[in-house]
Homo-oligomer: A and B are copies of this chain.
Amino acid sequence: MIANSSTTIRFLLASRQCELNSLRYLLQRGELVGKISQLVHMLQRERGTSNMFLCAGEGQFADELSLRERDVAQAQAPLLAQLDTLESQIATSPQASRLFSHVASVIYALSLLPALRQQIRQRKLPLPQAMSFFNDIIRHLLSLVFELTDTAAEPDISRALIAMFSFMQGKEFAGQERAIAAAAFAAGQFSEETRLKLLDLIEHQERCFATFADFADEQHRLRWQQVQTDSQFERLRRIACTGREGFAADSGLRWFALATQRIDAMKQEEDTLAETLMAHCRARIAAAEQASHQQQADIESLMPQPEEEESRYSVFIDNHGWLESGGVRPQLGRSLLTLVQQQSRRLQALDTELAALRETLNERKQIERAKSLLMQHRQLSEEEAYKTLRSMAMNQNKKLVEIAGAMLAVADVFPLLPRE
């Protein structure tokens, strides 16, 4: 290989090609997120129904449960099929390694579903445990979405992915709220613990939807603001959270129906978000392909004739500190310089924007990790872990992310609790 115009051009084209590839890859990952959203939705419903099944008398909800299982199977198949194609894309990036590790966790969690269902059917599993199994499977699926979000390289698309992820998280808290209250309505009472848990879940939803609003585009933010909460739903929610009023025997069914209506509306929003995301990706790919063709055309018109010796060009430095060649065929040198500069500046601008985004994201990730550290080592629930972090931050007058960072920094000295 020698250092000349043709080699420069080869690498410019390679840079473009990588960009196009990474956009196409992004589109695939967007599709994957859409499929995960669908599976999560169905698992949420199965969780709610299985809670009702476990609380209600013999023979009730068994058919509904079968329907929900079928829906999950239907949503799971296309996801697994796409994950299967993913495996052939063994890459050299460390992100790929993390991605596959998350996929392994998801598959592992999903592989336990049949056993879980069997035990639910046989009523061998107490409700809180059955529910936390479902929560866990969904948590692994959402972690996979987060990992997919993390590696996006287009600021716009990355923002859309973060908005979508936050929305999915919010919807999951809504799903947990539905499942817990459905069980309590069915059981006929709300314990103090259940009520506090519900209040927590409502707060969590609001926080997630606030993050969604931070990252979503104007259009989706406005759409979401216009989604009215149903007044009947709010009344049942109040009953559930305060536990002061009595309620009719069919309140459980009504709650489940109304909460499902609400969550289905969320799913519709999620689908729109996924569509916008895909449209974004496709538009960017089309633009990049267009730019690539233009670049190709520019290059062909510029290619040096074989008889020209490049060393005959003279050199000078342009106003922006770049080398430039002139002389016998100045237009080649100058245009090539322009192409090299354009590519370099564009990628740099993208990278700067992404770095800022990544910082925001990184803060959220640190908080998530510190939370799961507390969950693991102190046997806390997600809510308790979050509250612990928050109260530490408030007491020390520090930001949540600072406390999370400090906690992760000292993670090694955390004593592991002995296994029971």
Binding site for B on A (CB under 8 A): 1-5, 7-12, 14-19, 21-22, 24-25, 76, 80-81, 83-84, 87, 89-105, 107-116, 118-119, 124-125, 129, 132-133, 136-137, 153, 310-323, 325, 327, 336-337, 340, 343-344, 347-352, 355-356, 358-359, 362, 365-366, 369, 372, 375-376, 379, 405, 408, 411, 417, 419-420
Contacts and interface: CB of A to CB of B under 8 A. Distances in A.
B119 A315 contact: yes
A259 B358 CA distance: 43
A21 B90 contact: yes
B25 A97 contact: no
Counting chain B CB atoms within 10 Å of each CB, the highest count among A89, A93, A99 belongs to A93
Contact of A317 (B90, B136, B376): B136
Contact of A319 (B17, B124, B317, B417): B417
B115 A327 contact: yes
A56 to B, nearest CB: 22
A38 to B, nearest CB: 15
Contact of A115 (B14, B315, B351): B315
B133 A101 contact: no
A111 B337 CA distance: 11
B314 A115 contact: yes
A321 B293 CA distance: 52
A103 B349 CA distance: 18
A372 B17 CA distance: 27
B100 A11 contact: yes
Nearest to A348: B369
Given A90-B18, A94-B18, A112 B8 contact: no
Given A90-B21, A104-B343, A336-B108, A83 B1 contact: yes
B104 A311 contact: no
A94 B136 contact: no
A14 B90 contact: yes
Given A108-B340, A323-B136, A1 B80 contact: yes
Contacts of A321: 136, 372, 375-376
B136 A322 contact: yes
B76 A3 contact: yes
B419 A319 contact: yes
A136 B340 CA distance: 14
A337 B15 contact: no
A314 to B, nearest CB: 6
B137 A15 contact: no
Contact of A101 (B9, B99, B104, B347): B347
Given A8-B111, A319-B417, 18 more contacts: A3-B110, A8-B107, A10-B87, A11-B100, A12-B100, A14-B87, A14-B103, A16-B97, A19-B94, A21-B91, A91-B93, A93-B95, A101-B340, A129-B316, A136-B322, A136-B323, A318-B419, A319-B419
Contacts of A340: 101, 104-105, 108
A331 B8 CA distance: 57
8 contacts: A7-B80, A8-B111, A9-B104, A11-B87, A93-B95, A101-B340, A319-B420, A355-B362
Nearest to A137: B323
Given A11-B103, A352-B369, A417-B319, A115 B313 contact: yes
